[in-house]
A and B are shown apart, each in its own frame.
Chain A
């Protein structure tokens, strides 16, 4: 029996339920057989966080259905949510720990694997201090797991080298929110979409990336009072097709486009001067900077026609409510934080913040990216505390009952790109990677592979599958995934969901929380009184500890319990004052920018230089939002004679991350089985390339071979989806990140995936085998005395 309420593969967003104000319920369901019972959870295949129930029969997941009462999705699910669960029962799950012996990964017991990890940890710390220890985590674990990792890393090991792959995905969202409003956290709520007059998507292909959120917009567009839609994106995406105005800027020119819009809005006189005066600082500098960006100058630099820019600005200047969203087209491109901050500025100068219909979604790509940031597993300090504020650090020391000097806070935490650089240079000798796949997701993959194989670097990979990265590990730990463990996740609009264990993990696989707790116990981390540092063993106990850590902070969870979360998602802050959660922040126009309150003192937008506490206090914004101006800076690598085209990368609607899960669902894999390179008709003609021809794309860092897909893109621009690696097809070079740059935004430290100079040619030879073996991680590590192989 196969029962599905709709074919989400053929019809991605399903039938319309037109609305204004109150989004109707539509429960999407797909089960392969009738479940015995349902277990409440939420989807972990994008950052929307749709409430759902897992159907279980005989200890197996047999399907899912949307949760009708959930505030985020009102019962709807997208193709990834309806199909991704099949990965849980994939036959190639890791079920036993593996240890590399004589170059080969061999099965081992948990006792052996953990003893080895502890022995190496102790040895390295003794010889090199804990500054030789690094952790690279995910945007896919649960809050309780990140918090445990943060405590054991910061207060147990005392290492500043801890970050997550959220650095690749949404570090800029956090940076932009901190720069403008003092701390992380979205000002608005998804319900703003139900009433807003105008929607602005900047570098956000929401139709592919957040399918259920897009359904909400489609239903508004089909409803009685449709919003106007403005899309800024260099590609003609599903999202752009629905736009009233689609601006197609050249790669790397988000700041000039935003400055041009801000200039026109200010010139129109439709700004909210009283809001600006009472609730912001920095407006005059912005006005001065954007004044130079006339529509004509913007057109010349970005390719966006002046008339279109004027039309968009006219809408933005007159709308009484506005929802804006930004994502990777902003975050992974030149001047990432500067551009994201201009979106915040647009709302600030028009006073469109802190009330219904006025949301800013500095979006996340991964489902639990927000939790990595909140808990400090990405290097930030837990509960948005400021590492430069001694009182905040003392609070943490009190909560954990440790000496404050044990908590590394002498400089900003080490960001992921720097962690990998230290590993490359040899000063990080221990790298624990969990639930992520840097051998496909990081920029400049040839370099990442070299680092992973480096002698003297002990690599642990904790995952559910033998990923491209796990092939290089010294120890592989089999992890339980969604559906096999309990924990919370917080989505973009601050809604916290409880996702519950429905089935047992396969074989000896364990929850990440259990692995971290076990490590902390074996390392014998203790507090000042000699009690164990990690005082919890279950997810619910970890949640209780986290709740205490958030008390009084902007992300206050103290009013939440598992019991309450079983009734449905709750938006933080949730405390005695707001027992049902909070839909809008900053309703009183007071922001978290006070010197005693703010999460960071801010960074120079061009250099990333950190503003000192003294400087910040001298100009304390005392609760006023900070308007940051930014002028244009050209991308660091531009097309030239040798590499005449721009490369950009992005997502497909059927896949998530490096397809570790979605590639193992039959329907999703069939819907998007392979990578491709998208080029314009003009370029196809110029290079004599027909649809489906194999093209070689080469940058200064590497090359790939991809079948051509022609159309819907500007001439001179080449697009490759980033999901595809080698585990299911080691025969062709196809990971987009073979080509991308090791460079990052100065403020958010997020890598620049959205531009690189490349050249293309029709592939004619078949001399690719050696290259592919290397890229797929199947070649013996040449020159090493202890080669790392998996076969």
Chain B
């Protein structure tokens, strides 16, 4: 079984997403809404990481040797400024999509295994990730015209 691989993948992705939200909060502190919401969303991902631990432990033995794989490096160095904000939100969206996709994959497996705990966790976490994506999309749509057309 490869469920363990995916659980550690999603855990790493959530860690990365949490850090990325937190970085964006720090580096765009002049945008109060970005600052506040990104901190909140960072907390959500951090909470997922913690709550996921029992499942990661349970499926640890089911982990195959992992290829040097899908590790995300999108979020490298923090950027500041108008265009940078848009690009950071853009990258956050991609990171969050990675997490969202993991939930879908794991949910399928959970159903196949009839593992109710895994299924319910995936469903709950997926809802939170979708809320992160919804906010990111809203904010990206807001920032895009002004950034691409008028901003210096």
- Residue from A412, A604, A608 in contact with B33 in the complex, judged by beta carbons closer than 8 Å: A608
A411 within 8 A of B: yes
Nearest Cβ distance between residue B46 and chain A, in whole angstroms? 16
| Interface range on chain B (Cβ under 8 Å from partner) | 20 to 34
Provide the residues of chain B in CB contact with A131, threshold 8 Å.
145-146, 149-150
With A427-B82, A746-B37 known to touch, is A609 a contact of B137 (CB < 8 Å)? yes
B134 and A609 form a contact (CB under 8 A):
yes
A421 and chain B: residue at smallest CB distance: B31
Provide the residues of chain A in CB contact with B82, threshold 8 Å.
425, 427
Provide the residues of chain A in CB contact with B134, threshold 8 Å.
604, 607, 609-612
Provide the residues of chain B in CB contact with A160, threshold 8 Å.
145
Provide the residues of chain A in CB contact with B137, threshold 8 Å.
609-610
With A604-B134, A604-B135, A609-B134 known to touch, is A412 a contact of B142 (CB < 8 Å)? yes
A427 and B151 form a contact (CB under 8 A):
yes
B71 within 8 A of A: no
A124 and chain B: residue at smallest CB distance: B150
A432 within 8 A of B: no
Number of A-B contacts (CB under 8 A): 74
A320 within 8 A of B: no
B145 and A411 form a contact (CB under 8 A):
yes
A129 and B150 form a contact (CB under 8 A):
yes
B79 within 8 A of A: no
Interface centre among B33, B36, B41 (most CB of A within 10 A): B33
With A132-B150, A604-B134, A609-B134 known to touch, is A410 a contact of B145 (CB < 8 Å)? yes
A422 and chain B: residue at smallest CB distance: B146
B150 and A427 form a contact (CB under 8 A):
yes
B130-152, CB < 8 A from A: 131-132, 134-138, 141-142, 144-146, 149-152
With A131-B149, A742-B32 known to touch, is A604 a contact of B142 (CB < 8 Å)? no
Nearest Cβ distance between residue B103 and chain A, in whole angstroms? 17
Q: Give Cα distance in the complex from A607 to B40, angstroms.
A: 8
Provide the residues of chain B in CB contact with A612, threshold 8 Å.
134
Nearest Cβ distance between residue B138 and chain A, in whole angstroms? 4
B43-83, CB < 8 A from A: 82
Taking chain B's interface residues, is the majority helix, strand, or loop, or is none over half, making it mixed? Answer: helix
A71 within 8 A of B: no
A698 within 8 A of B: no
Provide the residues of chain A in CB contact with B131, threshold 8 Å.
604, 606-607, 609
A129 and B37 form a contact (CB under 8 A):
no
| Interface range on chain A (Cβ under 8 Å from partner) | 20 to 34
B152 and A608 form a contact (CB under 8 A):
no
B145 and A746 form a contact (CB under 8 A):
no
Q: Give Cα distance in the complex from A418 to B85, angstroms.
A: 14
B40 and A633 form a contact (CB under 8 A):
yes
A743 within 8 A of B: yes
B99-152, CB < 8 A from A: 131-132, 134-138, 141-142, 144-146, 149-152
Provide the residues of chain B in CB contact with A128, threshold 8 Å.
149-150
Provide the residues of chain B in CB contact with A417, threshold 8 Å.
32
A768 within 8 A of B: no
A472 within 8 A of B: no
Q: Give Cα distance in the complex from A132 to B33, angstroms.
A: 21
Q: Give Cα distance in the complex from A608 to B139, angstroms.
A: 9
Q: Give Cα distance in the complex from A414 to B33, angstroms.
A: 13
Nearest Cβ distance between residue A457 and chain B, in whole angstroms? 13
A636 and B138 form a contact (CB under 8 A):
no
With A426-B152, A743-B32 known to touch, is A606 a contact of B138 (CB < 8 Å)? no
Provide the residues of chain A in CB contact with B145, threshold 8 Å.
131, 160, 410-411
Nearest Cβ distance between residue A651 and chain B, in whole angstroms? 24
Having A421-B30, A427-B151, A607-B134, one finds 7 other A-B pairs with CB under 8 Å, namely: A132-B150, A411-B138, A414-B142, A422-B146, A425-B82, A612-B134, A743-B36
Top 9 closest pairs, chain A to chain B, by CB: A609-B135, A609-B134, A607-B135, A411-B141, A427-B150, A610-B138, A427-B151, A131-B150, A743-B32
